[in-house]
Structures are given as C-alpha cells and as structure tokens.
A and B are shown apart, each in its own frame.
Chain A
Amino acid sequence: MFRIIERRGWYFALSLLLMLPGIIYMIWSLTTQGHLLPLSIDYTGGTLWEMRFNEPQRPTDVREVFVAAGYPDTTAFTVEDDQTIQVKFKNIETNEKEQIQAALVDRFGEFDERSYRSIGPTIGGEVSQAAVIAVLVASVLILGYIAFAFRQVAHPVRFGVCAVIALIHDTLVIISFACIMYLIAGWEIDALFLTAALTVIGYSVNDTIVVFDRIRENYRKYRSEGLSALANRSIVETAQRSLGTQITTLLSLVAILVLGGATLQQFVAVLIVGIISGTYSSIFNATAFLVAWEERSFFPRTSTATPSSNGQAALA
C-alpha cells in the first residue's frame, strides 16, 4: 500500500509556501496602499479604453494627450502589437470622452475603438461587496451540502470543513498567482477573476467529493481499517480518474489560452492554476486534513524504519 497520508507534513508545508506570496502581498499592500488586492476598474471605478491606431504609437505619446487634457493619473501600455494601446484613467462623462477623442484624432489620426469601459465608483464599490458575499455564500452552501451528502459517515461536518479548507487554499493559491502576475505583467483582479475563483471553488469541491465519496464507500466495506488506511486506499483508487479529468480539462483550457486571444488570457491562466491546485488540494489538503483531524496530528513523524503494514499508526 502507498503511504501518502503519512507524509502530510510536507504537503502542508508546500501549500503554505504556495499561499505565502499572496498573503505577503496582501499585508504589504494593505499597509502601504490601503487596499488588499490589485483590483481593476470593475471594483474601483474608472475608465479603460483600448484603441488601435493605423500606425505604431508609443504609449508615452498617447499618455501625453491624456495628461494635457487634465488626467495626470493615466497609464498607457500596448496590447498584442504596438498599434493597439490600452489607456486606464479615472471615470469620465461622455462629453469629456468626446473632447479627448478629438485631441487623439488631432494628433494620431483616426483610430478604431476596440473597446471602451467607464464605470462609476459607487457601482465598483457595490460590485466588490457583492463579490465578497458571493464567495461566502458559495462556501457556506457547499459546506452545508457536503455535510448533508456525507451524513451517514461519522463526523459529516468534518468532511464539509475539510472541503472548505481545500477551497480556501485554492483561492489563496490563485490570489498568490494573481499578485505575482500583477507585479510581473500588470494583471489586475477583475470581474472575470471572481468568475474564475468561483469556478475553481466548484472544481476543487468536485475533486474533493470524488475522493470523499470513495472514502464513504470504503468506510462501509472495510470498517476495520483506520481512517488513514482508508484514505490511502481511496486516493490510490481515485488517482487515475483525478488525473484523467484534470488532463482533459487542462487540454481544453490550454487550447483557449494559446488560441483564444488576449481578452480571455488572464481568466484562463487563473483557471488553469486553480484547477491544478484544486486537484492537489483535494488529495493532499482536504483528505490529509481529514485524517490529521481524526488523529489529531498535523505533522506526523514519518519513520522509515518501521512502516506499519496498513499505514494506520502515525506517531504524534
């Protein structure tokens, strides 16, 4: 029998390591900037304007026009090629936009408006609030559902709590990823990030349930075995399925990432990281946590000298 669960100390350590960048960023950002995350205009309000010029333009030149028009807090950068420029600045009214547009045409000639978004700060605030509510409601509903679905086994609430711990882990891992990508490539957390996060939560729980379901089934079959042996057995039995599913899902996602264009790139990248993390956490966090809880030992000493035959006796 594989001894997977016994090495849980390492998994927990790895998970902490993966979550750390996000946690450090959030603490740093809160103390120095006054907000937790690099949020996009979806949550803060503002304007994002993507335009494609007939000739390559330097973002600094485009920014100059905005600064001259009285918007000093403007950032401009290229997307995809050097003819397409994205500008981010504060929320404006239609007539203000028309003035800037005239100034831009004056300097660079006619351009194609690829996309334009301007959102007021009150809406942004409401969206942030609803996003928090959405994540909390989803977590509570899932916790309740799992406790209900696993009501026949001992301690059904533990199953729910462990699934939720796994999904908090996954959320923190994708936040880490998002913060790192913000520092490297300027990615921001937008409404689609929330969508990705909730999807990852759904997937993570989906994976966790498949393992838990096997534990539930084996629990009836092999009552004499301890939980850690049951967990090992269930992980091994479901491993092929978890891998199979993960690979098919990732195949589809990588296809979108490579071929799908810039609009969806961040969304899909977050999904990919989250889904890998979800499968990892369902085995190495949720299930390991369940056993740790049962045995009241989170970092068992794995003695290589005397491996117990059924992997049951982990020393505290």
Chain B
Amino acid sequence: MRNNTFSLAVVVLLALAALYIVLPVDHPAWLERSLSRDPEAPRDLMDLKLGLDLRGGTQVLLESDLAEGVALPDGAMSTAKTIVENRVNGLGVAEAVVQNQGDNRIIVELPGVRNPDQAVETLRSTGQLEFVDPAGSTLAQGMIINTTNHPNAVQTAQEGGLVDPSSIPYPDRVFQTAMTGEVLRDAIAAPDQYGNWQINFGLTSEGSTTFFNYTSSHIGQPMAIVLDGHVLSAPTINAAISDNGVITGQFTQSEAESLAVQMRYGALPVPLKVVDIRTIGASLGQDSVSRSLRAAIVGMIAVVIYMLALYRLPGLLAAAALLCYIVFNLAIYKLIPVTLTLPGIAGFILSIGMAVDANILIFERFKEEMRAGRSLRLAVETGFSRAWPAIWDSNLSTLITCAVLFWFGNTFGASTVKGFAITLAVGVLLSMFSAVFVTRTFMRSLLAGTAQKSSTSRSLLGY
C-alpha cells in the first residue's frame, strides 16, 4: 500500500496547487512571468478570462472589399492586420484581439468598448499619415493630438473608448501639419552595420522638395510622425533631407517594422468591409454570468446528492473526486488560458455530468463484482480495469466531435462554438484522469483502512 500512499499524496498536492491557482489572490511574479511568452507582459492569474458574451463587447469580422477580378496583393492582409491592430491600440481598449482569419479576413474583438459603431468605423477607415510640427511642445509615441488635417482626433478617440488621459497632454491644441504621407515613396525597416534597427525611407520627386524645404529650416528640432492623430514617433531632424532619409532610435525589430509598415501604408492596403458584427451589452453579459454561476452550483449539488443516495460511501468519494475535478478544470482554464463563453460554461456544467459518468461505470462494475462474491479489494481493482475500455472508447468519440466543433468554430470566428468545444474537451480529458486516478486512489486508501466484507460495509458500499 506504500505505492498508494504516494498516489494519495500526489492527488492532494495537485489539488492544493490547483486550488491556489484558482483562488483570486495575488500570485508570485515568477509564476505569472513563466506562464507568459512575452516576458514584458506577465500573465494575470487573478481572474478567469471571460469572453465577449459574458463581459460585453463587440466582435467584428472584416473582409477585403476588392472589386470583382482584382487579386489580393501578397501580404496585404497581414499588413492590414498590423494597421488595424495599431488602431485598436489607439482606441485604448484593454485586451483587444486582432487576428487574420482565412485568406481575406480579419477578426477583431473589442471587450467593453463604449461606442462600438464608431470604433468599427475608425478601424476600417483609410487612415492618413502626417508629419507634424510640434512647435516647441514635447510629443512622444502613443500621444493623441489634434492636427490641421484631423482637428477632432482627440475627441474621436475619447468617444471611441477608454483612453488614458495621460496620452492626451494637449486636448485643446491643434498642431500644424507640415506634410502628409503622400511625400513618401517607400519605407523599410533594416538593421544598420551595428545591428540597430532603423527605418530607411525614400521620397517622391515632388515630396523631396517639400521635405527638403521643411527639414532644412528645422534642423535640431523634433518632427512628429502622426497617423490619424496618434503619434507614431517623434525623431529629431539632424540634417536637411531630400530623396532618402533614415530614422534611428532605440527600436526593436518589431517596433521598426511596425513603424515602417504604418509609414508605407498609412492607409489600409485593401479596403475592408464588415461582414459580421455582434455586440453584447455589458448588462446582458453580467446577467449571464450570475445566472450560469447559480445553475452550475445547483447542478453540482444535485449531482452530489444523487451520487450519495445511489452509491453511499463510494458516492462520497466520487463527490470528493468531483470537487477535485472542478478545481483542476478551473486551474487549467487559467493556465492555458481558456476564454470562457456562455456555451463554454454550459460545456463545463455538462462535463460535470460526464465526469460522474466514468465513476458510475466503475461503481456499477464494482457492485457487480461484489455481488459475484469477490473480495472487496479484488472488486475495486476489477471494477476499474473492466470499466476502462468503455470509458476510453466513449470519451474518445466525444473528443472526435469536439475536434470537429473546434474546427468549425475556428473557421468562422464562432467563438461560442469554439468555447464549447474547448471546455468540453478539457472536461472529458480531466474526467478520465479524475475517475481513474483520483477516485481509484481514494478507494484504495479507504480499503487500507476498512475491514473485509461485512454487513456494515455492505450498507456503506451500497452493493
């Protein structure tokens, strides 16, 4: 039985670790850092991630809107995605998601955005790049300013969503536009001979003259590069520039590439149209969360009572295993992380019933073996081994449907369908672990403590 003591210790430790992750307390920084691919942005383990249908927000599917017979230029969609991403960041929406989907679509999720219609218009509008004279003020990347060409940029940004007030130091000023993006011929990010990333840009023949006139009279002063009122960069003019120029600075590769893309295609490389938009109000989302939480708790209590009534002591063990199962599930949702949607919660509640199924299969086998007159210990072991093929085969067929559902949801940005498939699949996998490892360990530990077949054990074990 030493082996089993070890298993029991593993179960208890795993359950405690999972419980710690699930609890909404501050988690140590090293843990949150190690879970994130980007060391700059450690993962927040405080709360479960909720989908748009639970927290409220807008999901938009944008599609390239080209005339019949016009081919989509290579790389245009990934460029468009970068530009849309920058605009989303400009809107100041927290935890927004922008992804390419298929060959010609971009999916954008904007949680908690206040004026979704306007936000969507901002995303698909053709933006304009400007070179702006700061006129003595300090402008830095990330600021939002009004310019001669966009005198209402600040107001638009404020209406669009949650904008950090510190990014609007000059809400009432309108800065002078020196030139627009039309002067640029191209812009490419490349490393210099020391490996520092910079942006090399070329000017059109008309642009050269304008650019030279402006830069020659402003040497030593900064010049802001602005896209739709958002300051992308504010380099200092070191020399008069015509034909070609270089922007240097402390750029990482991705920063340099992103800036080059925005200078090149201030406007979107392809026009975009909205083919699917859905908005869930925050009040409906809040309502759904509280209702499904109540349903989950009531459902779980009902299942536990039923198991206790039908299987007595093993039922109690199964209930304990079920609690472990729920904690493991929630911990995995936080670790992966899984974004919970309303059907996702339904999938989870459904999988509670499913997790019990494996236990029922085992206990029914166990009862049969006991009735056949086997010893308690033998009945437990054969109960588990005989039930296993059925558990495995039936769960595998559910996993097959989950895979098909996931594919379907993923192809169409139907995050509700995808969410259901993920939680059900995680639930099925965990239920096998919980039934076979957790319940069996509990049963064996209990056996070590109880005597052989007797009338009390008969009523306790319910066979």
Question: How far is the CB of A223 from the nearest CB of chain B, in Å?
Answer: 19
B280 contacts across to A, CB distance below 8 A: 114-115
CB of B137 within 8 A of chain A?
Answer: no
A126 contacts across to B, CB distance below 8 A: 412
B275 contacts across to A, CB distance below 8 A: 119-120, 122-123
Question: How far is the CB of B50 from the nearest CB of chain A, in Å?
Answer: 14
A127 contacts across to B, CB distance below 8 A: 412, 414
Are the C-beta atoms of A209 and B390 separated by less than 8 Å? yes
CB of B292 within 8 A of chain A?
Answer: yes
A253 to B386, CA, bound (A): 29
Are the C-beta atoms of A268 and B276 separated by less than 8 Å? no
Within 227-266 of A, Cβ neighbours of B (below 8 Å) are at: 237-238, 240-241, 244-245, 247-256, 258-261, 263-264
Contact of A248 with B353 at beta-carbon distance under 8 Å, contacts A123-B275, A259-B298, A267-B343 already known: yes
**Residues 288-304 of chain B, each 1 if its beta carbon lies under 8 Å from chain A, else 0:** 10011011101110110
Are the C-beta atoms of B400 and A248 separated by less than 8 Å? no
By beta carbon, the residue of chain A nearest B413 is A123
**Residues 99-136 of chain B, each 1 if its beta carbon lies under 8 Å from chain A, else 0:** 00000000000000000110011000000000000000
Are the C-beta atoms of B302 and A138 separated by less than 8 Å? no
Interface SS majority for chain B: helix
Are the C-beta atoms of A112 and B281 separated by less than 8 Å? yes
Measured as residues with beta carbon below 8 angstroms from the partner, the interface class of chain B is: 35 or more
Task: Select which of B283, B395, B412 is within 8 A of A206 by beta carbon.
Answer: B395
**Residues 408-427 of chain B, each 1 if its beta carbon lies under 8 Å from chain A, else 0:** 10011010110011001000
Are the C-beta atoms of A209 and B307 separated by less than 8 Å? no
Are the C-beta atoms of B306 and A248 separated by less than 8 Å? yes
By beta carbon, the residue of chain B nearest A255 is B299
A-B contact number at CB 8 A = 208
Interface-facing stretch out of A30-38, A170-178, A196-204: A196-204
Are the C-beta atoms of B343 and A130 separated by less than 8 Å? no
Are the C-beta atoms of A259 and B353 separated by less than 8 Å? no
Within 195-231 of A, Cβ neighbours of B (below 8 Å) are at: 195, 198-199, 201-203, 205-207, 209-210, 213-214, 217
Are the C-beta atoms of A255 and B302 separated by less than 8 Å? yes
Are the C-beta atoms of B306 and A247 separated by less than 8 Å? yes
Are the C-beta atoms of A192 and B287 separated by less than 8 Å? no
CB of B163 within 8 A of chain A?
Answer: no
Question: How far is the CB of A181 from the nearest CB of chain B, in Å?
Answer: 18
Are the C-beta atoms of A209 and B397 separated by less than 8 Å? yes
CB of B174 within 8 A of chain A?
Answer: no
Are the C-beta atoms of B342 and A264 separated by less than 8 Å? yes
A74 to B397, CA, bound (A): 42
A266 to B233, CA, bound (A): 52
Measured as residues with beta carbon below 8 angstroms from the partner, the interface class of chain A is: 35 or more
Within 98-117 of A, Cβ neighbours of B (below 8 Å) are at: 98, 112-117
By beta carbon, the residue of chain A nearest B358 is A245
Contact of A244 with B364 at beta-carbon distance under 8 Å, contacts A98-B117, A134-B405 already known: yes
CB of B279 within 8 A of chain A?
Answer: yes
Task: Select which of A198, A237, A264 is within 8 A of B405 by beta carbon.
Answer: A198
Are the C-beta atoms of A191 and B411 separated by less than 8 Å? no
A123 contacts across to B, CB distance below 8 A: 61, 275-276, 412
CB of B354 within 8 A of chain A?
Answer: yes
B binding-site residues for A, Cβ under 8 Å: 53, 61, 116-117, 120-121, 274-281, 283-284, 287-288, 291-292, 294-296, 298-300, 302-303, 306-307, 310, 342-343, 346, 349-350, 352-354, 356-357, 360-361, 364, 368, 386, 389-390, 393-398, 400-402, 404-405, 407-408, 411-412, 414, 416-417, 420-421, 424
22 contacts between A and B (CB under 8 A): A52-B283, A94-B121, A98-B117, A114-B280, A116-B278, A123-B412, A145-B396, A192-B417, A195-B343, A195-B416, A203-B398, A206-B398, A245-B356, A248-B303, A249-B354, A252-B303, A255-B295, A256-B299, A260-B291, A261-B287, A264-B346, A267-B343
- Further 11 A-B residue pairs, CB within 8 A, beyond A250-B353, A253-B353, A259-B294: A94-B277, A97-B117, A115-B280, A130-B411, A137-B404, A199-B405, A202-B402, A248-B303, A252-B300, A256-B349, A260-B291
Q: Please provide the 5 A-B residue pairs with the shortest distance between their CB atoms, ordered closest to farther.
A: A249-B353, A255-B299, A202-B401, A206-B394, A252-B299
